[in-house]
Amino acid sequence: MSGHLLRLHTQPALSIDLHTLHPERLRGLSATEVGHLPLRHGRDAATVGDFCHVSTATDMPDTLTLDGDFSRFHRIGQGLTDGHIVVTGSVGDLAGAGMRGGQLVIEGHARDLTGCEMAGGRLEVHGNVRDHAAGAQVGSLDGMRGGTFIVRGHAGARLADRMRRGTLVVCGDTGDHLASRMVAGTVLVGGRTGAHPAWGMRRGSLVFAGPAPDLGPTFAPNPADVRVAWQLLARHLASLAAGLVPQAVDLPRRAPARRTGDLSVSGIGDVFVLG
């Protein structure tokens, strides 16, 4: 079994939906057959070979590698259930949306709705993500539903909106309305955050390893003893963020200030502030 390497040679004039290119769907196909797979370019029919040189990679089985700036290609890795996708550049919107398994690594930046409604697998972005990452698509009530999502750079607004399950680590800063309407799951932020974090939060855990956020009066101090629960959570986060968030290695040894909310919606979410 071998993988496939797609090296971009021509930038499309219009955006292209690339959600059909998954490692499990390409198994057993030759480089020529992959190059003939159909794509839509506006109203015109196109093929993978119109934009990419395709070759097989016997040293990377079950892996699809996209080499180049794929920022005009959307939905990369959407619905991924198995295998690995590695992008050496940046990608468009909805990368990793609805993932169920496998691994997607983006070595550049990602745009809006990255990892939205993902339910499993591992998604890692080495650069920044834009708005609504790990959130919900229009008309949906649930955002991220499982899996592991790591952002080494910064994140935009509405990160983890309506998040229900899974673990999200952001090494840098986040925009406004972080974890708004959060239902469950865990979020670790290593940098600063914008206005109105955890607005409408009902449950879940939000950990600030960097500067303390302005939570407002609807989050009350909670003096309950959660040392055992904190140790379990801190060790899990430390293992994920080791080498990425400088403060992560000390998480199990630190005693965070705990606040509960959002009380305006009868929320019982936990916010741990370490800064």
Residue 56 located in a structural domain: no
Tokens 């190059």 — which residue? 35
Residue 64 located in a structural domain: no
CA dihedral 186, 191, 195, 198 (to 10 degrees): 10
Number of domains in the chain: 1
Residue 50 located in a structural domain: no
pLDDT at 1: 62
Q: Are 123 and 141 in contact (CB under 8 A)?
A: no
Which residue intervals of 154-223 are DSSP H helices?
A: none
Facing residues of 169 across strands? 150, 188
Residue 14 located in a structural domain: no
CB contact set of 54 (below 8 Å; sequence gap of 6+)? 4, 5, 6, 31, 32, 34, 35, 48
Q: Give CA 248 to chain center in angstroms.
A: 19
Instruction: Count CB atoms within 10 A of the CB of residue 249.
Output: 12
Residue 119 located in a structural domain: yes
Measured CA to CA, the distance from residue 172 to residue 192 in angstroms comes to 7
Q: Are 84 and 102 in contact (CB under 8 A)?
A: yes
Residue 55 located in a structural domain: no
Structure pTM? 0.95
Residue 129 located in a structural domain: yes
Long-range contacts of 155-159 (CB under 8 A, 24+ apart): 155/128, 155/129, 155/130, 156/112, 156/128, 156/129, 156/130, 156/131, 156/132, 157/131, 157/132, 157/194, 158/131, 158/132, 159/129, 159/131, 159/132, 159/133, 159/134, 159/135, 159/187
Could you tell me where the beta strands, DSSP code E, fall in the chain? 3-8, 16-17, 38-41, 44-47, 52-57, 63-67, 73-74, 84-87, 103-106, 119-125, 145-151, 165-170, 186-189, 205-208, 220-221, 257-261, 269-273
- What domain range is 238 assigned to? 71-273
Measured CA to CA, the distance from residue 178 to residue 189 in angstroms comes to 10
pLDDT at 248: 84
Q: What is the CATH number of the domain that holds 269?
A: 2.160.20.60
β-pairing, 44-47 vs 38-41, is antiparallel
Which pLDDT tens digits describe the chain residue by residue (275 residues)?
679 999 999 999 999 999 999 999 999 899 999 999 999 999 999 999 999 999 998 778 899 999 999 999 999 999 999 999 999 999 999 999 999 999 999 999 999 999 999 999 999 999 999 999 999 998 899 999 999 999 999 999 999 999 999 999 999 999 999 999 999 999 999 999 999 999 999 999 999 999 999 998 999 999 999 899 999 999 999 999 988 988 888 899 888 999 999 999 999 999 999 86
pLDDT at 58: 78
Residue 232 located in a structural domain: yes
Tokens 């930038």 — which residue? 11
